[in-house]
Amino acid sequence: MKIITSKISILVVIFTLVFSFLHVVPTEANNDSFHYVALGDSLTVGFEPQHLWDSDAKVYGFVDRVFEEALSFNAEATMSNYGVIGLTSTGLKNLLVSMDEEKSVRRSDIQPWLLDPRLRQIIGDFPAMKEDIKKANLMTITIGGNDFGARTYLDIRDLDDKQLQQFLDERIEVYRKNIETSLNIIFQLNPDVKVVITDQYNPFPHFNGEMYEKLNLLTTQFSKEVKEVVYSYQEDDFNIVLAPIADSFVHREALFTHILRADIHPNQRGYERIANVITETVWGGEEETSSYSFTRLLKNWVSNN
């Protein structure tokens, strides 16, 4: 009898928590259609190094987490992920231009030596991608990391200040032209979509003070450029915001990435942090905990008791 009473008491507490948090869910929660589109590189894919050798390894990146948050506001929300491993800003631009013109292209026309099989699927159905963008309510974009490349540490190691600045300026100029072309196509197809674009984090820990300063200069200047792009579109009344993920990784590189396994991609902690930054940017602070998480908590408790 005491066990039954105890379980009933716990249920009462859980229901109280659920309904108290339901009370603070933003008023924008509704039953209208909501579609989330993700564009970008391996971060959008949710890639981790174990995916190279384990085909059964679960993919659970920031896109999946953001989609879960969207479901908490709208149970009918849908999602389309157009992430491609290795994609550069030039590749994204070529992809969107080809989609917009509905051109028949090969993978090498988008970006040479891009082996991700997802690209073949995407270019095989441009009309579907175009329709997804047209109906999107929310879009996230992660792009630019591959413009610098995985060899960035080696590329800038021996550069003096002047050479380093030239290295940055050349790549940032290419990025800006590409992202502006990409955004122009997106907003032409869907002027009302909310676009969330991220900056780039530095994955290398503070092992070498001089190199750490160089790498953080890179991320700082890249973030500044993304901010300027965002502001320029905001001035034209487009709904675009920056999700500043770079700051979250400073002095947490080993905690948030696989760098100790010689891989620059985020681990689960890193993807969780990226998702948190994006959801806070889109839906508000962490105090607005969604009812979706508590619903899952309740289901798990009931099934296990």
Q: Where are the domains of the chain?
A: 1-24+291-305, 29-288
Residue 288 near residue 242, CB atoms below 8 Å: no
Question: Residue 66's pLDDT is what?
Answer: 99
Calculate helix-pair angle for 268-283, 62-73, nearest 10 degrees.
40
Tokens 């689960």 label which residue? 268
Sort 16 into a burial class: Cβ within 10 Å, 0-12 / 13-18 / 19+: exposed
Q: Reduced to 3 states, what is the DSSP secondary structure of residue 138?
A: strand
**pLDDT tens digits along 58-94:** 999 999 999 999 999 999 999 999 999 999 999 999 9
Q: What is the mean pLDDT of residues 275-302?
A: 61
Report the alpha-carbon angle 295-296-302, nearest 5.
90
State the pLDDT at residue 28. 47
pTM: 0.84
254-285 pLDDT, tens digit per residue, is: 999 999 999 999 999 999 999 999 999 999 96
Whole-number pLDDT of residue 207:
85
The predicted pLDDT at position 243 comes to 99
DSSP state of 190: -
Number of residues assigned to the chain:
305
Q: Which tokens hold the place of 254?
A: 């080993």
pLDDT bracket for residue 4 (50, 70, 90): very low
Tokens of 60: 């659970």
Q: 146 pLDDT band (50/70/90 cuts)?
A: very high
- Compute the distance between CA of residue 127 and CA of residue 97 in angstroms, rounded to an integer: 13
Average pLDDT estimate for 98-107: 96
Neighbours of 232 (CB within 10 A): 14
Q: Is the pLDDT of residue 305 over 90?
A: no
Model confidence pLDDT, tens digit, residues 30-49? 557 899 999 999 999 999 99
Q: How confident is the model at residue 153 (pLDDT cuts 50, 70, 90)?
A: confident
> What's the rounded mean pLDDT across residues 282-301?
50
Query: Mean of the pLDDT values across residues 239-252?
Result: 98
What is the average per-residue pLDDT within 188-213? Answer: 95
Give dist(CA 170, CA 38) in Å, integer.
27
Going by pLDDT thresholds of 50, 70 and 90, the confidence category of residue 151 is: confident
Class of 29-288 per CATH?
Answer: alpha beta
Average of per-residue pLDDT values in the chain: 87
DSSP annotation of 200 reads -
Looking at 10-24, 131-145, 152-166, 186-200, which range is the least confident one? 10-24
